[in-house]
Amino acid sequence: MTVLLFGCSNQTSIKYGKYTFVRLSKIELGYLFLTQGIKSYFVGCELILQKDSTFKYTTCGSIMTGTWNCFRDSLFLNVTQNRWRNDSLAKNGFNGTWPQIPEKPIGFKCGNDHLVKIHILKNGERIVEELKLNVP
């Protein structure tokens, strides 16, 4: 389950380029914990949005590619390929498994050169992922 956070007004406000993770300060993380129950944030994520509506989304464990679109205040990543980031995992799998293609698009709220997503884990823990445009 994913809950979205910020906003952008329309598709033209999405900027193409490279988005990288934002390292939150202890004060920012404390505020998010008090207001939204968020205890931690993702690091190492990167998203490249191309003008032709394709993307490359890299996390600590996998690399996803596909197409993207925007609707109102949200960016949606429609994943068509998902592979392990590590070459030996890509060849042999992790305990015989490979990354799955998400059934639903991955959604982010967008605004002011930022993309934000709150991940809710199976145990109920909330983790924020914030990406900032740094290479237009």
| Residue boundaries of the structural domains of the chain | 2-135
pLDDT of residue 136: 67
pLDDT at residue 15 above 50? yes
**pLDDT tier, 11 (very low <50, low <70, confident <90, very high otherwise):** very low
Write the pLDDT tens digit of every residue in 35-91.
Answer: 988 988 888 899 999 999 999 999 988 999 999 999 989 999 999 999 988 877 777
Inform me whether the pLDDT recorded for 9 exceeds 60. no
CA 3 vs CA 43, 88, 89, 118, 129: distances in Å: 18, 33, 30, 5, 11
Per-residue pLDDT tens digits for 87-121: 777 777 787 788 889 999 999 999 889 999 998 88
Q: What pLDDT does 52 receive? A: 96
- φ/ψ of residue 59, rounded to 5: -110, -175
pLDDT at residue 6 is higher than 60:
no
Q: What is the CATH number of domain 2-135?
A: 2.40.128
What is the average pLDDT value for the chain, to the nearest integer? Answer: 85
For the chain, counts of helices (H) and of strands (E): 2, 10
